[in-house]
Structure 1
Amino acid sequence: MKLALGPLLYYWEKQTVETFYQQALTSEADIIYLGETVCSKRRELKTRDWINLAKQLADAKKEVVLSSMALLEAPSEIKILRQICENGLFKVEANDLGAVQILAENKVPFVCGPAINCYNASVIKLLINKGMQRWVMPVELSRDWLIKILAECTQLGIREQFEVELFAHGHIPLAYSARCFTARSENKAKDDCKLCCIKYPVGRPATTQEDQQVFVLNGIQTQSGYCYNLLNDVPSMQGLVDIIRVSPSGTESFTSLQDYRAAVNGTGSPIQLASKECNGFWHKIAGFQTQQ
C-alpha cells in the first residue's frame, strides 16, 4: 500500500504552507494532494503558487495531485476550477461533478475525491467511463461496505481499472454548507468574514453542554470532533485498499505517516487510541466510537 498526504483542509499563512510542504519533500508520503478544497476566499496561495509547489514536489519524485473545491458558488470559482482541470501537468482530484464533467470533456484522467457521493459499483463504472483512475471512498463507509462494493466491481469486470484510497487519519470532513460556521461563531456575516478561519489552524472545536467535542468548524466545512485514526486497522485493509490517506493537521502529520509506513511494512505495534480519537465508521459502528 502507498501513503498519501491529503489536501490541506485548513487556512494557514502562505509561509506556513510553504514550510510544511518543504518538509513533505522528504516525508513518507508517496502521493501529495495540493490545493484549496474548502473556501475560495482563502487566497494566501493562488493557483500558480499551488502549481509551483507541485513542480517542486514532483522533482522530489512525489506523485502530485491537484485537488478541486467541493462546493462551488460563483463564476469566479468555476474559472479557477477550469485552471486546475486544464493545468496540463498534474492529475486532478475531482471533489464535485462539475470537475468530473470538465475533466471528462478534456479526456484527463482523475481521482474521485471523498466529497463525491459514490456508494455503489454502478456509479464507479460511470466514473471510470469518464476517466476515473482512483476512487477515494466516502469517509462514512465501512470495511464491510467496501468489500461489498469491490465484489460488485469484480462482477462488472472493472475492479482492476481503478485504485482504492481510504481517508484513514485526521478530522473527518462530514458536510459542506453555503454558510460559514466559523464566521457565524464570531457573529460575522459570511460576506464580511475577515477571513477569521486563519485564526484556527486546526479548525474551531464545537462542544456540547457536557463539554464533549462533537464537531470541528472549518469555514463552510463541518468536521468530526474526534480525530479518525485507523493505524491499528491497517492489517484489515490488505487486499482492499491501495492507498492510505493522512489529512494534514501540522508537522505531526509526518510522524503519522511514519507510523503508517511501519504498519504497512509490518514493523509497527498496535497503539491505544487516545480519548479524542475514533475509528467507528470503518467498523460499522457510530463514527465517534472506538473499537480497540
Structure 2
Amino acid sequence: MAMSRSSTLVLGPVPYLWEGEAWRDFYFRIADEAPVDVVSLGETVCSKRLHFFDPHFDAVLERLEAAGKTVHLATLALITLERERRAQDKLLAREDRVFEVSDLSALHKLKGRPHTIGPLVNTYNAATARLYAARGAQSVCLPPELPMTSIARIAEDAPEVSFEVSAFGKVPLAISARCAHARAKGHTKDNCQFVCAEDPDGLPVETLDSQPFLALNGVQTVSHTCNVLMEELAALERHGVRRFRLSPQHCDMVGVAQIYRGVLDGTLAPDEGLARLREVYPGVPFSNGFIHGAVGAEWIDAA
C-alpha cells in the first residue's frame, strides 16, 4: 500500500570530515540525482573543519537550489570558543536564510524568525515542541532515541507541529569540548592535524572483549551501528510524522535516498528496500532498537 506522497525526505548535514572537493562533489551529485526535498547544509560537529568546505560552500548552495532543493543552514552543536560564537553570529545574521538549530545558543537569536529544530536538540515532550513552534520553528526533528510510543504521544499532543524522525544513519550519542578522536591517534585537540579525515565514516571503538561498540567522529561520539527505519515508516506516517531524515554516511547516499523515496511512495516494498539498503551500505550492521523500546544497537524484525 502506498504511503503519503506528501512525505518530505530530508538530508542532514555531513557529520564527518571529508576533503573539500569530495564534500563539494557529494552535494553536486545530491543536487543532480537524489530525490530529497530538503538539504541541511553546514558544519555541526567541529568549527576547525569549516575551512575545508568554505571555498565550495556558495557553489554547493547555488547548485542545490538550482536543482529545486530547499536548503537550510545548520549551526554548530557546541559553542566553546569566542571565535565560534562570532562565527555563529555572522551566520545567523543572514536574514534571507532558514536555519537548522543544533544548539540552544542559536535558538534565542532566532526568535520569531523561520527555523527548524535539528535532532541534536532535546525534544522529549509535546510542550517543548509547541514552545519551539510558537517561537518560529517550522519543524522539529525528534531525538533518535525516542521509542514509537513516545513519538506517537508527542505527535498526538502537538498536531500543529511538523515532526521529523531520523530514518537512516549512525546515531549521534554525545559531543564534547575535547577530541577523543585526536587523542586516540596521539594528538591533542589544538594540534589534531585533522586526523578525523582518515576515518570518513568514523573511527571504530571496541570493548575490552574486542567487540565493536561505538565510533569516534572528532569531538562527537556516534553509534557503531547504522540506525535504519524502513519497515517502521508506515507506522510513523500513521502517527502524523511526515518528514524523514537521512544522515550522510560514507556510502552511495543517492542510492539510499532513492530507496527511501521508493518505499515512501509505495513503489518499493519495505523488505525489498531493506535488502537493497544492505547492498548499498555493506559491512555496517543495522539497528532499530530505540524505536522499539529496546537497546538501541539491537535489530528488531518489525514483522
Bucket of the pairwise TM-score, normalised by the shorter protein: over 0.9
- Listed one character per residue, the Cα deviations across residues 157-205 of structure 1 (whole Å, up to 9, x for unaligned) are xx22x31111110111111111111101112111111111111111101
**In 1, distance between residues paired with 2:29 and 2:22?**
11
SS of the aligned residue for 2:300 comes to: coil
Specify the alignment match of 1:156 in structure 2.
none
Give the structure 2 partner of residue 45 of structure 1.
53
Select 1:11's aligned residue among 7, 17, 20: 17
> Equivalent residue for 1:114?
119
Q: 1:280·1:290 contact (CA, 8 Å) conserved in 2? A: yes
Q: What amino acid is the match of 1:15? A: E
Deviation at residue 253 of structure 1 after TM alignment: 1.3
Residue 250 of structure 2 is matched in structure 1 by 250
The total of aligned residue pairs comes to 283
Partners of 2:213 and 2:252 lie apart in 1 by: 22
- Structure 1 distance, partners of 2:189, 2:9, is 36
1: CA distance between counterparts of 2:16 and 2:156?
36
How far apart are the structure 1 equivalents of 2:197 and 2:122?
29
Q: Counterpart of 1:143?
A: 148
In the other structure, the counterpart of 2:86 is: 79
Letter in 1 for 2:230: L
Which residue in 2 is equivalent to 1:94? 101
**Contact persistence 1:95–1:115 (CA under 8 A):** yes
Q: Distance in 1 between matches of 2:289 and 2:88?
A: 34
Q: Secondary structure at the match of 1:41?
A: helix
CA contact (8 A) 1:33 1:65 kept: yes
Match of 2:134 in 1: 129
Q: Which runs of 4+ in 1 moved over 6 A?
A: none
Amino acid across the alignment from 2:38: I
**Partner SS for 2:215:** strand
> Would you say the 8 A contact 2:115–2:138 is kept in 1?
yes
- Counterpart CA distance in 2 for 1:206 and 1:31 is 32
8 A Cα contact 1:231 1:259, kept in partner: no
Alignment partner, residue 54 of structure 1: 61
Shift in Å, 1:251: 4.6
Query: Normalising by the residue count of structure 1, what TM-score does the alignment of the two structures yield?
Result: 0.92
Query: Cα RMSD (Å) of the superposition?
Result: 1.6
1:53, CA displacement in angstroms? 1.9
Q: What is the Cα deviation at residue 86 of structure 1? A: 2.1
Percent of aligned pairs with the same residue?
Answer: 32
TM-score (norm 2): 0.89
* Equivalent position amino acid for 1:14 in 2: G
Q: What displacement does 1:109 show?
A: 0.8
- The whole-number CA distance in structure 1 between the counterparts of 2:155 and 2:241 is 10
- In 2, the alpha carbon distance for the partners of 1:102 and 1:250 equals 33
Given that 1:262 and 1:268 are in contact with CA atoms closer than 8 Å, whether structure 2 keeps it comes out as yes
Aligned CA distance change for structure 1 residues 56 and 87 (closer, same or farther; 3 Å): farther
> SS of the residue aligned with 1:217?
strand
Residue 232 of structure 1: SS of its match in structure 2? coil
Structure 2, unpaired ranges of 5+? 1-6, 279-283
| Partners of 1:185 and 1:233 in 2: CA distance | 37
Q: Bigger CA drift: 271-280 or 35-44?
A: 271-280
2:11 is equivalent to residue 2 of structure 1: no
SS at match of 1:223: strand
Q: Summarize deviations over 1:27-53 as a string: whole Å, max 9, x none.
A: 11111111000000102022x743442
1:265, distance to aligned residue in structure 2 (A): 1.2
Map of 2:193 onto structure 1? 194
SS of aligned partner of 1:53: helix
2:76 partner letter: M
Aligned to 2:76: 69
Amino acid at match of 2:27: Y
